[in-house]
Structure 1
Amino acid sequence: MFIMDLESLERLNEIRPSVDRVAMKLRSLQRLCHMDAVCFRHITAALPLLQQEVGLNRQDVTETLKRIFHSVSQEVAGHVTLEAPEETCNLMFTLNDRSQAGFISAASLQTSLIALSAETLQVKYAALVSVAESSSGSVSQSGLRSLLQDLSQVPAAVQEEAVFGGVEAAMRSCFDGVLTPMASREHVLSWLQGEPCLLLWLPTLSVGQNVRHDVRCHTCRTRPVIGLRYRCRKCVNVHLCRSCFLSHRETRKHKSHHPLLEFCTQPTWRESLSSLAHSARHMLLPRRHTQREAESRGLVWAEPQNSAPPHSDASTHLAASVSHNASVQSLSCSSKTLQTDKETPTQQVTHNNNNNMK
């Protein structure tokens, strides 16, 4: 039986909205099982060419995981412990052996490993469709149902199984407008890329998961910061990790109402200089800044040069409105997060393309 640290789960329960809370819990689970260094190539190399419905016992799964983690250890020395295969095997059976028969299918194992891997989101989507598709290259309703049932068990591992809706509703959403019993691979892939409510945790888990920032989180003191990084515009040289940002954690220096910049890139000298200048202006002209912040306070997305904002997902759509610095006009924008968390507070997000924001 797989048991996750309940104390760490309770700490993450403070996070709102629910999509981000589940993603942060799964990120902790991913690291705990050392899946944060596993890519799709490791999974395909370790899994033999079996029929998807073939049952695997604990020894079969453990041997498969040993092959996976051996490949990872060849690339990332010291990352995997000796206990990793057994611990991850326990997790796989907790997720997929719901009848406690002592066997799980090869398809269920592959689905769970893909979902918790460190692979990019688009590769995950393509790999998941491959698990569900038939020999003809199409996806049947029963094939998609099995895939979604396996995926819906992943949040259950962190006690969040009731957040994202049901499998049947997702099924109807995918096959809406499909006139045949089978849907094409391209159709199902496009549907997944549209981020159905049932799987909102998957893109949120993938956002920035491979980015490491060589800075210390101001509140929890974690270094390096993994994933998205948040820099306070009011405090000098204050960075927050995603967990502390979502939990609204404060210190004597930094308060949760301070305006923030969100980064998916390493800190640069331009960013530090811009932050220092903004903090200095705030100290010299406190009344003006206090008035401005009262009118527009919240999160600012700092984009790399010549790039668009990240793919639409729950983590970047925390806001109910978007305001551009170049014009004072506001555009209303719906948050996918609100589909699962009605108590989500409204934030203001400013997309900024200026070089001094990088």
Structure 2
Amino acid sequence: MTQLFQSMADLSHVRFSAYRTAMKSRRLQKALCLDLLELSIAQSVFDQHKLTHNGQLLEIPSIINCLCTIYHELQQVHPDLVNVPLCVDLCLNWLLKVYDSDRSGKVQVLSMKIGLFSLSKGPLKDKYKYLFAEVAGAAGVCNQRQLALLLHNSIQIPHQLGEAAAFGGSNMEPSVRSCFQNVGRNDVIELQQFVDWMHLEPQSMVWLPVLHRVVAAETAKHQAKCNICKECPMVGFRYRSLKHFNYNVCQMCFFSGRISKDHHLSYPMVEYCTPTTSGEDVRDFTKVLKNKFRSKKYFTKHPRLVMVSFPLQSSILYFIYFILFYYFAQITTIPIVMVSFPAQSIFFIYLIVFSTNNNYPSVMVSFALQIHFILFMFFTQIAYPLVMVSFSPTIFV
């Protein structure tokens, strides 16, 4: 365990605490083989050992029995990856380091569940549901004290990694107040309200969704070249400038703060943890056009932010856009090349097909160009960003 934490020293170059904590947590997760543990399996093992009273204190033999059951389950599925004695020893030591600061040899059931659920394998939304269920009352709602208990146990993970200060320290009151103010009530919150708040990535819990993006980016390969170190293709996160055309930065250069002479740290970037879609390419192109008219002074006055992109949502929104485009244009076919060409070329290509198919005079084509340009600007600059705000959280760095 000591060697594991010493090996995390090479992550000190990561400037942003949320990503640094997430990468440390990922390394810990893989060392403990918890990246193989399904949420449902963990829950069934807890039920099997009758660990239903979250206030109960577990002594070391009870913890070992529970961990042995978990890792024997994993060994049956992954015999080449799971060494039961080693994993049990590592996980036991980790739980004691995180949740037994007094060296009493005991860990609370709730703490053990939150620790294992947080590093288990599963969709982020399901993880939020499991965590909420552990502190919610019989009515399925959670009061301020219960939420504070959940956040306190969760933040012990980055605290043990030496990163707690960046997430609010041990004071959970601001996060609890933020959650209840967000839902507009002071007594209790329901599951969906908690999930919606977590999707905003509050400061005390931002490391958890970032961990999931780190996992998603591990195998992502982007067919683009880093403008700083010239790596091509880029593996991991890809950061695209929203100030310069076709300017990309790999995760190593971005996290270490390396820049080139024509790009500044104050310029906005968009983050991709999966390969980009054609819709996202068009969206970023329009944003670069807009930022071209903004001065360097503008970006220094405004906090730099990284937009987190979700390919599925952007693809759906652009699909809706093209359907509406088709409706307004009333043509029989839409050229497939429209979705892959830059925005400035799309409408010229489209208008050629439009005028050819319908034999409209040049005046009508000119009028159509104005209408289509207005529609394009509406969907890409007004409607699309407004919808994306509710889906894509921003990380201020």
TM range (shorter): 0.5 to 0.7
Query: 2:255 is matched with which residue: 246, 256, 262?
Result: 246
Q: CA deviation at 1:109?
A: 0.5
Count of residue correspondences: 297
Deviation at 1:70, TM superposition (A): 2.2
CA deviation digits over 1:208-239, x for unaligned, max 9? 515653869998x9xx95x646799989xx99
Structure-to-structure mapping, 1:14-25, within 5 angstroms: 14-25=13-24
Give the residue type in structure 2 aligned to 1:193: H
Q: Report SS of the residue matched to 1:104.
A: strand
- 1:197 has 2:203 as partner: yes
Determine if contact 1:231/1:262 at 8 Å carries over to the other structure: yes
The separation in 1 between residues aligned to 2:116 and 2:69, in whole angstroms, is: 13
Q: Distance in 1 between matches of 2:272 and 2:174?
A: 35
Other-structure match for 2:337: none
Alignment RMSD? 4.6
Q: 1:307 to 1:16 in 2, by over 3 A?
A: farther
Post-superposition offset of 1:3: 6.0
Higher CA-based Rg: 2
The Cα offsets for residues 216-265 of structure 1, whole Å up to 9 and x where unpaired, read as: 9998x9xx95x646799989xx995x456423579xxxx999x9996544
3-state secondary structure, aligned to 2:189: strand
Q: 2:172 aligns with which of 154, 167, 170?
A: 167
Residue 244 and residue 94 in structure 1: after superposition, are their counterparts in 2 closer, same or farther (change >3 A)? farther
Kept in 2, the 8 Å contact 1:249–1:256? The answer is no
Distance 2:204 2:306 in 1: 26
Matched, 1:157 2:160: yes
Partner in structure 1 of residue 123 of structure 2: 120
- Structure with more of its chain in helix, by fraction: 2
Aligned counterpart, 2:39: 40
Kindly state the Cα deviation for residue 110 of structure 1 after the two structures are TM-superposed: 0.5
| Distance in 2 between residues matched to 1:80 and 1:231, nearest whole Å | 38
Assess if the C-alpha contact under 8 Å between 2:239 and 2:249 holds in 1: yes
Separation in structure 2 between the aligned mates of residue 67 and residue 107 of structure 1, nearest angstrom: 18
Percent identity between matched residues is: 24
Structure 1 unaligned residues grouped into runs of 5+: 275-290, 310-323, 339-343, 345-358
Q: What is the rounded CA distance, in whole Å, between the counterparts of 2:177 and 2:92 in structure 1?
A: 33
Q: Within 5 A, what are the aligned runs for 1:2-151? A: 4-9=4-9, 11-47=10-46, 48-50=49-51, 51-82=53-84, 83-151=86-154
Kept in 1, the 8 Å contact 2:200–2:393? The answer is no
- Find the counterpart in structure 1 of residue 395 from structure 2: 337
Could you tell me how far apart the structure 1 residues matched to 2:14 and 2:204 are?
Answer: 19
SS in 2 for 1:67: helix
SS at match of 1:118: coil
Matched-pair contact (CA < 8 Å) for 2:29–2:35: yes
Q: Which runs of 5+ in 2 are unaligned?
A: 282-291, 300-304, 319-342, 345-375
Tell me: CA distance 1:70–1:267, structure 2 relative to 1, closer, same or farther (3 Å): farther
SS of corresponding position for 2:179: helix
TM-score (structure 2 length as normaliser): 0.60
